[in-house]
Amino acid sequence: MSAIEESIRSIVERAPDYEFRTTVAPTLGRGDVLRIVERLAGAKRYFLQAFRVPETGLLDPAWEAKQGLSMEELNRLWNEIRSPFADGGVRG
């Protein structure tokens, strides 16, 4: 965790333009996203991304049948977590 937190600090302090994003895979829940947000609070830009299976499939076919959060659920989650960020949103 300390290496991840150091990377976040380095990006925030040194990068002129950056964004963080989390692809909300089926195994991630609301609590997981809230813990990520705690570490990224104050970042310039943060996006939640919908999990989707590309046309070419995935390396692990078992994941292809799993469902991530819907866009409606992602938007509700974004509205809950948006305040610590200057910019961001949800990407489909």
pLDDT digits (tens, 9 = 90+) for 69-92: 999 999 999 999 999 999 999 998
* Strand ranges, E, within the chain: 20-24, 45-50, 87-91
**Residues 2-24: what's their mean pLDDT?**
93
User: Is there a contact between 48 and 78 (Cβ–Cβ < 8 Å)?
Assistant: yes
Residues 14-51: pLDDT tens digits?
998 999 999 999 999 899 999 999 999 889 999 999 99
pLDDT of residue 70: 93
Which residue shows structure tokens 């076919």?
61
- Asked if 44 contacts 18 with a C-beta cutoff of 8 angstroms, the reply is yes
Structure tokens at 42: 């104050």
Query: Does the pLDDT of residue 1 top 90, yes or no?
Result: no
Contact 20, 43 (CB under 8 A): yes
